[in-house]
Structures are given as C-alpha cells and as structure tokens.
Amino acid sequence: MSGLLRGRAPCASRCTFARNAGDTVERDINVLGAVVTRLIDDEWRRWIAENLLLDAAPETVHAVLVQHGFEHDHAICEIDSTLRSPYFRAGSRLRNRLRKREWMLSVYGDLNRMRAGADSIERCARLPRDAFYEQFYFQNRPVIITGMFDSWPARERWNFDYFRARCGDAVVEVQFGRDADADYEINQPALKHTMRFRDYVDLVEQSGVTNDFYMTANNASRNRGALAALWADAPPIREYLDASAVDAGFFWFGPAGTKTPFHHDLTNNVMAQVVGRKRVLLVPFTDTVHMYNHLHCYSLIDGGAIDVKHFPSVRQTRMIECTLEPGELLFLPIGWWHYVEALDASVTMTYTNFLERNDFGQTYSTFQEL
C-alpha cells in the first residue's frame, strides 16, 4: 500500500501569526509584510498518522503536506515526530495484530477458492433442511434454491392489477429522489415519501429503467401494516424459516433499474424472487479488506460501474455474478458483500427469521468508527 494515501486531506486551517519558533507552520508574506503562519493541527496529525500506519511512504506524505502549503522542513519534523511517538508505535502494534487476522481470513478465502465450482453460485432443487444448514448456512456459503415456494399464491396473483385491486388505497412509504443523491442508501431516511399504493403501482408500471424510486426493506415499518392483505399470498417457507416469527418478511418492489449498492448485512438473509429478474454480484466476507469499506457496512465501489483505476484492490476479490429468476431463493450469508440490480420490474421478499441462530449483529459495536 506504499504511496497510497487514505482519506481526504483536511481543509486548510485559518492563518495566525507565529507564536514561537517551535510551531509547525506555513510561512507567507502578506501585503503588510507581516509573517503569517499556519499550524499543522490535530486533524492533519491524524491524517499523517493514519496514512503512515497504512504504509504510505513518508516521502509521499511529505509531498502532500508541501502541496498543501506547509513549509518543507516543518513537514519533515512533523512526520519524524509522528514516527517516533510512543502512541504511533502502540498503534503500529495494533495494526500488526489486525494484519494477522486479515492474513488468516485471506487463507480461509484462498482455501475456498480452491474448491470446485467456487466461482459460481451452486443451484439446488428443493434442498432439504439439514443439507441447507450443514452445507451452506453453517459454512457461510451462498446457494440458489429452486422449488421452495412454487405453491405461493403470490407466484400467480402478484401483478400490477392485483396490487391495485387488493391494496390500492393503502398509504405506503417509498424512497424517492435516489438519482439526485449518490449516497441514496446511506441517506435513505431523508428520502422517505408517502403515497397511495395504487399511485406507486402506476408509477412503476409506466416508468422506464430508473433507480429514482424504490420500495425497500427500509420502508417496512409502515408497509407491513399497509400491505397486510398481501402477506397470505406468501406463506412462511417452513423448511428453513421460523414460521412463528412476527413481521418476518421484507417487501421490495420497484421498476427495472433499481439498485442496492454494495454492502454486507449483519444477519444471514434469503431472497425470494417473486416477480422479475435481478442481477446480483457477491463478494465473500474474506475479501472485505479489498472492498473499500469506508462506513458501517457500505463500500465505495459502484457495482454498476466498477472503477478499478480508483479502487485497484477490488481486482483481488472473488466476485461472483448470478441472475436470480422468478421462483428462486438466494441465500445471502452474513458478511458477504452484494450488489443487486433489477433487470425487470420486480417484487422480492427477503427474510432473516431462520430456524438457527441469526443474532450475530448484536456484538458489532464499532460500526461508526471505521
């Protein structure tokens, strides 16, 4: 990672007059001839330390400081002071412990790559419960399963006319304005909008390919009650799921072109594709170090246009692509990165109420500290 800097350089600090010869400063001459100075503040020091810990060369860090106007010799002193700091050395020890864990994950990932068929998602017809849990759930492996909800009334009934007739007057919540916000998934609470379900159905039916509006799991709190008349059409898949769980399913409905950006979930999930097709990209959790995980469970990588120039490490991931057809279940193991794009107007039900333990996210407390 030498020479690659992480994060944006801090904004310029305000200028002050020099206070003493020991200050790390930027010198300039203003129109009155006074010496103006600028401190390297704690935000710059954090940036310096973080990039040195990530193996950016001191010369590279120094070049960036000079580029931002800091005086040559004082930038050298600041970098040297960082490298000699006992706090930095303590951080280096913790970094090395993390690197050992990353190495162990990489070995696990390499071993999985050696397995026959590792570059595709296995498809199984009516996979028995024990085989599902032993071969996939407990082993953190995705699988596509067919034949598990062929008897759902939803497979025959769910279409635009049925939705309007069954729940048309219900007031539902939808995300709008996604095209205008590059961080639409992160900022989804600000994009919530309510409308009659029939009006939303009309919009989906009449629209072309777009990601501007989408009804997702993030809208479930209101929509579970509003669309309650639909749930009998999608009864529990008892082979894998706990039928006694209350409010278990999540309803996704939108036009072709809707996207869910690269992220990983904090639970195991299963997607039941009811209407339309979806393209899915998956990356194993063992490749997290290459996914530019900048915030919580999100990635900077755009699954719709992967930019290897700006994100070169993504080349080292094992990226698996599949198309989920109507009537198919996709098991998404916890921690696996996934990007989802609708190829048609689509309806998907997702579930997390498995018969086995699925509460692993309760011990994840550092999501705001990446």
- pLDDT tens-digit readout, 90-99: 999 999 999 9
At 370, the pLDDT band (50, 70, 90 cuts) reads: confident
Tokens in use for 313? 């490490």
Let me know if residue 107 belongs to a domain. Answer: no
Examine the domain organization and report whether 200 and 52 are in the same domain.
no
Closest to 330 measured CA to CA, from 60, 162, 122: 122
pLDDT digits (tens, 9 = 90+) for 152-204: 999 999 999 999 999 999 999 999 999 999 999 999 999 999 999 999 999 99
Let me know if residue 300 belongs to a domain. Answer: yes
Examine the domain organization and report whether 232 and 152 are in the same domain.
yes
Q: Residues of the chain with pLDDT > 90: what percent?
A: 86
Let me know if residue 10 belongs to a domain. Answer: no
Indicate the residue type of 144. Answer: I
At 13, the pLDDT band (50, 70, 90 cuts) reads: very low
Residues in the chain: 370
- For the chain, counts of helices (H) and of strands (E): 9, 16
CATH number at residue 172: 2.60.120.650
Average pLDDT over residues 308-312: 96
Last residue of a domain, one of 68, 84, 100: 84
Examine the domain organization and report whether 223 and 359 are in the same domain.
yes
Let me know if residue 279 belongs to a domain. Answer: yes
Indicate the DSSP class of residue 287.
G
**Does the pLDDT value for residue 31 go beyond 50?**
no
Let me know if residue 289 belongs to a domain. Answer: yes
Report the chain's terminal Cα–Cα distance, integer Å.
18
Let me know if residue 1 belongs to a domain. Answer: no
Examine the domain organization and report whether 79 and 129 are in the same domain.
no
**Does the pLDDT value for residue 86 go beyond 50?**
yes
Examine the domain organization and report whether 192 and 67 are in the same domain.
no
**Structural domain total, the chain:** 2
Can you list the positions of beta strands (E) in the chain? Answer: 16-17, 28-29, 35-37, 123-125, 143-146, 171-176, 192-196, 213-214, 249-254, 259-263, 269-275, 278-283, 320-324, 328-332, 337-342, 346-351
Let me know if residue 112 belongs to a domain. Answer: no
Of 366 and 28, more confident: 366
Examine the domain organization and report whether 184 and 315 are in the same domain.
yes
Average pLDDT over residues 300-307: 97
Cβ atoms of residues 58 and 83 within 8 Å: yes
Cβ atoms of residues 190 and 216 within 8 Å: no
Examine the domain organization and report whether 58 and 192 are in the same domain.
no
Cβ atoms of residues 212 and 177 within 8 Å: yes
Cβ atoms of residues 283 and 319 within 8 Å: yes
Which segment of 13-17, 67-71, 137-141 scores lowest on mean pLDDT? 13-17
**Does the pLDDT value for residue 321 go beyond 80?**
yes
Examine the domain organization and report whether 282 and 171 are in the same domain.
yes
Range of the domain at 271: 120-363
Last residue of a domain, one of 33, 68, 84: 84
Examine the domain organization and report whether 179 and 311 are in the same domain.
yes
Examine the domain organization and report whether 21 and 140 are in the same domain.
no
At 369, the pLDDT band (50, 70, 90 cuts) reads: confident
At 87, the pLDDT band (50, 70, 90 cuts) reads: very high
Cα–Cα distance measured from residue 107 to residue 180, given in angstroms and rounded to the nearest whole number: 41
Average pLDDT over residues 245-255: 92
Cβ atoms of residues 215 and 342 within 8 Å: no
Last residue of a domain, one of 67, 84, 101: 84
pLDDT reported for residue 247? 80
pLDDT reported for residue 57? 97
Examine the domain organization and report whether 136 and 38 are in the same domain.
no
Let me know if residue 104 belongs to a domain. Answer: no
pLDDT digits (tens, 9 = 90+) for 46-66: 999 999 999 999 999 999 999
Q: Strand 35-37's sheet: what is its strand order? A: 16-17, 35-37, 28-29
Examine the domain organization and report whether 144 and 65 are in the same domain.
no
Average pLDDT over residues 272-292: 98
Return phi, psi of residue 174, to 5°: -140, 155
pLDDT digits (tens, 9 = 90+) for 125-155: 999 999 999 999 999 999 999 999 999 999 9
Does the reported pTM lie above 0.75? yes
Closest to 174 measured CA to CA, from 122, 129, 131, 212: 212
